[in-house]
Amino acid sequence: MRIARIETEDGIRTVIAAGESFLDLGEILGMPVEEQGRSFYSVVLKNLEKIRNFIADGHHAGVTDHVPTSYLVPMPYINQIRDFYAFEGHVKTARSLRGLDMVQEWYEFPAYYYSGNSSIYASDHDLPYPGFSSELDFELEVGAIIGKEGKNISVADAWSHIFGFTLMNDWSARDQQRKEMKIGLGPSKSKDFATSMGRFIVTADEMETHLDQERKLDCSLQANLNGDLFVEGNLKDMHWTFQEMISWASTETLLKPGDVIMSGTVSGGCILERGPERAGWLKAGDQVSFHSDILGDLVTRIVGAD
């Protein structure tokens, strides 16, 4: 099922998308808006069958069908964000642009860095151009949202800890990133100034139907720049699966509901890989749109710096 958080004339609502309708999740579960915080993930997971049956019933009696005036970040609470580096094609290209070969360590464990959770942008909301940069780039990614806490999670058990998936854009200030990478601690301000999330979370039970025989997600993605197709990709091209990344992230560390595990950039899914001399860095007025037939849309317009 698809879950969204929307602004309506009556305030903020968490809703289930049922065809063209946006049905109030709180009314389905008897869960007031003010209680939809940290307990949101566990409550929804425990009631998936009830929600599915309600939607399948088709009558929707007594539940408000809301009309969104805007989309919000699709989850009520975000804990930590770990951004991985799971697409071999992206890693090879990014390293080759710096004159570097692949390192064997990349194949030994899934690498990640921590991103901030205080500058999260919803789909269809404008993004101010970062004032410290002149080389703004996008990154086409998908995030897995943790719904059940766990430590030292096995790869085999990792899927049971996932609440759902959403499109994500890891905005990058490439000029600042080049400086930071020279220091050796990895990206920081070049990344944490903005991260965007898609309109919907698609729950893990629905996404599980898209797992192939290798337990990789077969989910196509595309990025469009100003209405023109920029790149197409698929999550099945990930070298590291979400299950492997979750297992590694939880090693000697407790993952909590609201943690986000990001896939890293789809191969070819950023201006850096194509080359700014061909594509040009982003500028005010540009619109970046991500789309997936499964996960929905993430649309952002770049505006001048605040």
Which one-letter DSSP state was computed for residue 129? P
Sorted by where each begins, the domain ranges of the chain are: 2-71, 81-303
CA–CA dist 193, 195 (Å, integer): 7
Neighbour-count burial of 34, counting CB atoms closer than 10 A to its CB (0-12 exposed, 13-18 middle, 19+ buried): exposed
Per-residue pLDDT, 32 = 76
| pLDDT above 80 (res 60) | no
| pLDDT above 90 (res 38) | no
Segments of 60-125 assigned E as strands: 70-71, 81-84, 112-115, 120-122
| pLDDT above 90 (res 111) | yes
Give the pLDDT confidence of 244-275 residue by residue, as tens digits: 999 999 999 999 999 999 999 999 999 999 98
Per-residue pLDDT, 221 = 98
Per-residue pLDDT, 306 = 63
What are residue 110's DSSP bridge partners?
none
Q: What is the mean pLDDT of residues 9-16?
A: 91
Per-residue pLDDT, 303 = 97
- The dihedral through the CA atoms of 177, 228, 221, 145 has a sign that is positive
Percentage of the chain modeled with pLDDT above 70 = 97
| pLDDT above 90 (res 297) | yes
Residue-level length of the chain: 306
| pLDDT above 80 (res 61) | no
Structure-block tokens of residue 230:
């920029």
Q: pLDDT confidence of 59, banded at 50, 70, 90? A: low
What does the mean pLDDT of the chain come to? Answer: 93
Per-residue pLDDT, 276 = 86
CA–CA dist 196, 290 (Å, integer): 11
- The superfamily (CATH) of domain 81-303 is Fumarylacetoacetase-like, C-terminal domain (3.90.850.10)
Per-residue pLDDT, 30 = 83
β 81-84/260-262 pair status: parallel
Global pTM reads 0.95
CA–CA dist 208, 50 (Å, integer): 18
- Within 13 Å of residue 146, how many CA atoms lie on the same side as its CB? 28
| pLDDT above 80 (res 62) | no
Give the pLDDT confidence of 177-220 residue by residue, as tens digits: 999 999 989 899 999 999 999 999 999 999 999 999 889 999 99
Give the pLDDT confidence of 148-187 residue by residue, as tens digits: 999 999 999 999 999 999 999 999 999 999 999 999 898 9
